[in-house]
Amino acid sequence: MKPLKFAVIGTGFWANYQIPAWFEVGGVELIALYNRTRAKAERVAQQFGVPNVYDTIDELLDNHAHELDFVDIITDVDTHVLFTTKAAERGLDVICQKPMGPSLNDAQQMLTVCQQAGVRLYIHENFRWQTPIRALKSVLDSGVIGKPFKARVSFCSAFPVFDNQPFLADLDQFILTDIGSHILDICRFLFGEAESLYCQTTRVNPQINGEDVANVLLRMESGLTCYAEMSYASLLEREAFPQTLVSVEGAAGSVVLTNDYVLKTTTANGTVTTHATPPNYSWADPDYAVVHSSIVACNQNLLADLQEPDRQGAGLAETTGADNFETVRLVYAAYDSAKRNEVIPLKR
Ligand code: 89Y
């Protein structure tokens, strides 16, 4: 199969892992990089052997749109609508980092723009692709714990996340857009769509703008109640970053995903312990290993869909724009709930 040609839009922290993850997958050729600070893009181009560098996206598209198959947008959320629109107008398929848009309307606009241009939109949502999360899903799908009725999905940490990504400290809406996008997507991946939610947020760290703690209680359409908790203010005995810890109780047993990717499945026959250790890549930052390895699996899934030549997609991609819009609905419903101190109905 001919390699698909693509450009990376944004060469900040995350691009250092997204690019080698693409090379790990193969089947793609990275033609050009854009970054508003040119020197940063040049550094990344040199590191990964990318032939073209731009500090305006228009110039990149003017020079290369004719040969590109897709763009991978890895910029901050504020530019997602603009850059998605520019690429879509040139007839290019778009992969865009989470969070999809800075508001529900913006996310909707991204869907509309891509639909009207006849291009495919995917969101790079990788947490559901983590090895331990896939292993947990297999346990649930096996039916061994029966019908799940209750779950807790937990991401509570004191990792100095602002050191690598200082812009996160400036966000007015922080943890629900940053980690909440992932955690609420995991909830959807594991348990299906939500019927309603209630949320409380707070800010503990006085040096940041947004909330760094959010507690979301979801009632899923299946009847399961899911407590999704997230915090970057939790100095705990055991730092789990960046692992998501999960426990699920079902009619016939329970399953717990705990530290170090250990999965414990308990039924009337006792407890079975397995390990769902992620693959180890030399280019990954060890502090982020489980997340960085999931970029490969996520890219693989999106590429399989992109390789479908008729532009309809092969229906293989999990995190299409339309799918991720449902996660975005949960994120902004959670803000709405916290602001109004009300349960927000979500059923369409
Ligand atoms: O930005 C976030 C992400 O997507 O994964 C972890 C992170 O880097 C910090 O919360």
Distance, in Å, from the CA atom of 35 to the CA atom of 54, rounded to the nearest integer, reads: 7
From atom 5 of ligand 1, which residue's Cα is the shortest distance away?
Answer: 179
At 3, phi and psi to the nearest 5? -60, 145
- Pocket of ligand 1, candidates 291, 294, 327: which has the most ligand atoms within 8 Å of its Cβ, to mutate? 291
Rounded to the nearest angstrom, the distance between the alpha carbon of 179 and the centre of ligand 1 is 6
pLDDT score, position 347: 86
Residues with CB under 6 A from ligand 1: 161, 165, 178-179, 242, 291
Q: Please state the domain extents for the chain.
A: 4-119, 128-285+329-345
Pick the CATH number of 4-119 from 3.30.470.10, 3.30.420.40, 3.30.830.10, 3.40.50.720: 3.40.50.720
ipTM of the modeled complex: 0.98
From atom 9 of ligand 1, which residue's Cα is the shortest distance away?
Answer: 161
Contact 69, 92 (CB under 8 A): yes
Tokens matching residue 58: 């228009």
Residue 142: CB atoms within 10 Å: 10
pLDDT score, position 202: 98
From atom 2 of ligand 1, which residue's Cα is the shortest distance away?
Answer: 178
- Pocket of ligand 1, candidates 165, 205, 208: which has the most ligand atoms within 8 Å of its Cβ, to mutate? 165
Rounded to the nearest angstrom, the distance between the alpha carbon of 178 and the centre of ligand 1 is 6
pLDDT score, position 309: 73
Phi-psi region of 176 (alpha: psi -120 to 50; beta: other; left: phi over 0): alpha
pLDDT score, position 310: 74
Averages of pLDDT over runs of 10 residues in the chain (348 residues) are 96 97 98 98 98 98 98 97 98 98 97 97 98 98 98 98 96 98 98 98 98 98 98 98 98 98 98 97 96 98 90 85 98 98 94
Picking from 332, 284, 336, 154, the residue whose alpha carbon sits closest to that of residue 228 is 154
Sign of the torsion formed by the C-alpha atoms of 156, 160, 163 and 168:
positive
pLDDT score, position 311: 72
- CATH for 128-285+329-345 is 3.30.360.10
Rounded to the nearest angstrom, the distance between the alpha carbon of 64 and the centre of ligand 1 is 30
Tokens matching residue 178: 């940053």
